[in-house]
Structure 1
């Protein structure tokens, strides 16, 4: 047995174990039906029984864990960087468990809901900033990264796009965390989501523009 690999898996699983232990501790405090979704103004717009919510969240968490656990085995190009990928897996497990924990924590809050939402959004934004820290050094591969038609066709486009995308994710995650704490309700969620949308869309557009520039430059040589 590979001891290092086993230790890594336990480290990645630890956030899941902690969040579901937390849910078990607060289970008796949860109402029979809990909020399962919030709109951009932070208002509840979806509900489900707490048992169903737990099954859905546990199933989603298991699916994401197994997907990321076995994805590299399908990478016959062997271009996924093991160390970088494992760190990203850990950050993704933190993001997932913060989202799960937030859902159940907010269900126990009869007051101060908006401030609680802001704190949870800030944590998720910081997680996105942590992922961005690894994006800039991510090499071309089949599964993870900013995989547009243009980054996949040109390694220079991939590299430049991921450098930009990584910096934007770090800056956008930090800004999103700040806005989640400072922007008053009911604009908290909308402000944080707007930043994340910009961080997501700009690298996609950049990859197209830079690819066109590269194509034109090569045709003129």
Structure 2
């Protein structure tokens, strides 16, 4: 079965690349002339400032990441003759779009929106935390169905040597990040900062470490695993 020249996901990829690139050009040409907050402490206060050229460069980097990551997943899918693997790679493309698009939204709201020293506004940490929760929910909902690839998912030496380890570790990671994201969405407007971000960071690290351990555990017990 021949894959269409341009799928819906490919169209979304192109649109996202154009949108983020347009934002980068706009910031470079007509963005704020004053300092732009480029980094925030755990309490949401700006602790490093840059200018519009730095912000434009950051958005240009996100443009390249979208084109390279989502484009590469599309390329892998086109080369696959296995319909099941093709669908799994397309899911990886979707995850890349969700993650990068959400990250760009966080940059736009949490950095560019707090662009002036004179404004004296703190970063909207609750809103940023909610966006992060939404990214975790969206990516976690699909992560368990992504096919083996070098860009998206729980990519460990053991998951690449065992399809069973790949599937189980990614399903676990998907469940963990989905429920973590849901809890983050609920807690974002309620939890005090910086306790919220500290707790979220610790939870993400635990979920990632657990998923890596799961890939090793399943590989070790898989009779069909490939040796190193």
TM-score interval, smaller chain? 0.7 to 0.9
Cα distance between partner residues in 1 of 2:95 and 2:120: 35
Find 1:160's aligned residue among 168, 189, 194: 168
Matched, 1:210 2:218: yes
Q: Secondary structure at the match of 2:106?
A: helix
CA contact (8 A) 1:95 1:124 kept: yes
Q: Any idea what the Cα deviations from partners look like across 1:10-36, whole Å, max 9, x if unmatched?
A: 443476378669969x94xx4621221
Aligned to 1:178: 186
Q: Any idea what the Cα deviations from partners look like across 1:168-211, whole Å, max 9, x if unmatched?
A: 01011112233332211232322222222222222012222332
Q: Any idea what the Cα deviations from partners look like across 1:28-50, whole Å, max 9, x if unmatched?
A: xx462122112334333322123
Gaps of 5+ in 2: none
Matched, 1:85 2:92: yes
- Larger displacement relative to structure 2 (176-185 or 66-75): 66-75
Q: Secondary structure at the match of 2:188?
A: helix
TM-score of the aligned structures, taking structure 1 as reference length: 0.78
- Larger displacement relative to structure 2 (9-18 or 80-89): 9-18
Structure 1 residues 177 and 201, CA gap change in structure 2 (3 angstroms) = farther
CA contact (8 A) 1:176 1:196 kept: no
Find 2:51's aligned residue among 25, 42, 49: 49
Aligned to 1:190: 198
Aligned to 2:102: 95
Shift of 1:129: 1.4
Structure 1 residues 31 and 179, CA gap change in structure 2 (3 angstroms) = farther
Shift of 1:151: 0.8
Gaps of 5+ in 1: none
Shift of 1:214: 3.4
- Larger displacement relative to structure 2 (91-100 or 127-136): 91-100
Shift of 1:57: 1.7
Structure 1 residues 143 and 89, CA gap change in structure 2 (3 angstroms) = closer
RMSD: 3.3
Cα distance between partner residues in 2 of 1:45 and 1:121: 18
Aligned to 1:149: 157
Structure 1 residues 58 and 166, CA gap change in structure 2 (3 angstroms) = same
Structure with bigger helix share is 1
Cα distance between partner residues in 2 of 1:21 and 1:119: 25
Aligned residues: 213
Shift of 1:140: 1.9
Shift of 1:134: 0.9
Q: Secondary structure at the match of 1:146?
A: coil
Structure 1 residues 59 and 22, CA gap change in structure 2 (3 angstroms) = closer
